[in-house]
């Protein structure tokens, strides 16, 4: 039997593939990688593309939108991204998060107002009840 | 019959409440199962990441990443993960209590604190408390995605890169089991080294293209996956806590209905007895 290497393809949200393969192809940032068993330890980034897991004649392929690739002599791990990453997009997301924080601070009143309104309402209800009681007693 | 009309209305209203709490209990139970699955699904990634990062912390690449190095603590950051909605028992308040206690320790040492809140409960709480919130996100729903967290995590990481923060913690509820959820404070940055002799080996990876770029990308993803894991775990906790809270609410409603029913029956009986005795007395008088 041909030598095999263990392959794990995982993303932050789920496990995509786990099994053995004779050869793995992955789209590294520096170019396509073909990985055979006993590959030297390597850590690299992936660019969007196809990861192919080859077993004899059959071949399975998975699309990754980027991520990391870790190779050890008998284990290949693909840490796939689930989100499209780009510096600009990340930057925009960070700005949005900051904006939201500022809004939340400005919005300090809302929760507070709510509590205040609630207590005022309770007071009003109590007053109404008292008036009702007085009226029925007066009759 | 006019007897005990108030009691009957009260019983009906409690019954309606009980219906709602029972429905919420069942919804929470099914959501909890899904959240638990999601928790399990994201674990392999976090585990793999952890392994690689542990290795990196012990390897000796030509480039030392700032995330792996301890430095003097002047300012501390917290990422506080809470639920978006209430009605889940003491889940959030326990978490906040723990967080505030830990924040106080730093505060007493004269350190400044920056907060990043995930979930509307924590933003509301810390906004009222007057915390220094620098980033916030909420309404992640039942299926949180990494993409929702990139922004907030980046704000904190940028602060760390700029030297505005020297330490970063993430706070969330740890799902122990359905009945138990424990607030947990975990150090994100600098990445804690695991003391393990096995990792003291002498080989290192080849990095492609450069150790710096690869480590940057990897560590950012590592932190994100840790925060994501916290969010997913907190979600499972929220559902579990809600399920338990709603179950006890339904039980309490049941008890209350029983008590009121008893009072109602007694009142009804008393009224009937009185009526009969009045009739009998009337008949005897004739």
* Mean of pLDDT values over A56-74: 88
Residue of B nearest to A76 (CA): B48
Give the pLDDT confidence score for residue A115 in this predicted structure: 60
Give the pLDDT confidence score for residue A86 in this predicted structure: 66
Give the pLDDT confidence score for residue A114 in this predicted structure: 65
Q: Using the beta-carbon criterion (under 8 Å), do A12 and B228 form an inter-chain contact? A: yes
pLDDT higher than threshold 60 for residue A109: no
With contact defined as beta carbons under 8 Å apart, do B199 and B55 qualify? yes
A interface residues, B as partner, C-beta within 8 Å? 8, 10-15, 28-30, 40-45, 67-68, 70, 77, 79, 81-83, 85, 89-98, 100-101, 103-105, 107-108, 111-112
Q: How far is CA B263 from CA B12, B260, B266, B270, in A?
A: 14, 5, 5, 11
A15, A90, A94 ranked by CB distance to B44: nearest = A15
Best of A101, A106, A115 to mutate (most B CBs within 10 Å, chain B): A101
Give the pLDDT confidence score for residue B217 in this predicted structure: 86
Dihedral of CA B37/B42/B46/B49: which sign? positive
Give the pLDDT confidence score for residue A48 in this predicted structure: 87
Give the pLDDT confidence score for residue B255 in this predicted structure: 96
Give the pLDDT confidence score for residue B47 in this predicted structure: 86
Q: Using the beta-carbon criterion (under 8 Å), do A43 and B206 form an inter-chain contact? A: yes
More confident: B34 or A127:
B34
Q: Using the beta-carbon criterion (under 8 Å), do B46 and A12 form an inter-chain contact? A: yes
Give the pLDDT confidence score for residue B123 in this predicted structure: 87
With contact defined as beta carbons under 8 Å apart, do A83 and B146 qualify? yes
**Active-site residue set of B:** 88
Residue-wise pLDDT for A8-27, tens only, equals 998 888 888 899 999 999 99
pLDDT band at A35 (very low <50, low <70, confident <90, very high): very high
Specify the 3-state DSSP secondary structure of B272.
helix
Cβ contacts of B8 within 8 Å, gap of 6 or more: B264
Q: Give mean pLDDT in consecutive 10-residue pieces for chain B, a chain of 286 residues.
A: 80 94 94 92 87 77 79 91 90 93 92 91 86 88 87 91 91 92 91 68 77 86 91 94 94 95 93 94 89
């Amino acid at each position: 039997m041909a030598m095999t290497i263990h392959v794990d393809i995982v993303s932050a949200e789920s496990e995509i593939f786990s099994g053995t393969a004779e050869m793995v192809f992955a789209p590294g940032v520096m170019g396509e990688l073909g990985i055979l068993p006993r590959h030297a330890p390597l850590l690299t980034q992936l660019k969007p593309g196809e990861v192919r897991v080859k077993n004899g004649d059959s071949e399975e392929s998975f699309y990754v939108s980027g991520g990391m690739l870790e190779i050890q002599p008998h284990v290949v791990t693909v840490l796939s991204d689930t989100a499209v990453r780009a510096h600009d997009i990340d930057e925009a997301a960070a700005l949005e998060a900051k904006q939201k924080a500022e809004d939340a601070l400005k919005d300090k009143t809302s929760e507070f107002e709510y509590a205040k309104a609630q207590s005022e309402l309770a007071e009003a209800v109590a007053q109404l009840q008292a008036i009702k009681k007085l009226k029925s007693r007066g009759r | 019959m006019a007897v005990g009309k108030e009691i009957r209305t009260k019983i009906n209203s409690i019954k309606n409440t009980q219906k709602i709490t029972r429905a919420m209990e069942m919804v929470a139970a099914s959501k909890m199962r899904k959240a638990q699955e999601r928790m399990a699904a994201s674990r392999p990634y976090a585990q793999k990441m952890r392994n690689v990062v542990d290795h990196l912390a012990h390897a000796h690449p030509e480039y030392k990443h700032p995330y792996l190095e301890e430095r003097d603590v002047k300012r501390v950051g917290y990422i506080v993960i809470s639920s978006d909605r209430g009605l889940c028992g003491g889940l959030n308040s326990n978490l906040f209590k723990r967080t505030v206690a830990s924040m106080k320790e730093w505060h007493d040492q004269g350190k400044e604190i920056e907060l990043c809140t995930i979930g509307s409960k924590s933003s509301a709480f810390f906004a009222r408390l007057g915390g220094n919130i620098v980033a916030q996100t909420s309404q992640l729903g039942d299926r949180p995605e990494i993409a929702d967290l990139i922004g907030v995590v980046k704000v904190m990481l940028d602060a760390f890169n700029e030297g505005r923060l020297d330490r970063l913690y993430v706070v969330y509820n740890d799902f122990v089991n359905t009945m138990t959820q424990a607030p947990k404070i975990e150090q994100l940055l600098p990445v804690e080294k695991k003391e393990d002799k096995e990792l003291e080996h002498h080989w290192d990876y080849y990095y492609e293209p450069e150790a710096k770029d690869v480590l940057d990308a990897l560590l950012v993803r590592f932190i994100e996956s840790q925060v994501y894991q916290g969010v997913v775990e907190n979600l499972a906790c929220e559902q579990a806590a809600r399920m338990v809270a709603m179950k006890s609410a339904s039980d309490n409603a049941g008890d209350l209905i029983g008590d009121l029913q008893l009072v109602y029956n007694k009142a009804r009986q008393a009224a009937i007895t009185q009526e009969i005795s009045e009739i009998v007395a009337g008949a005897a008088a004739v």
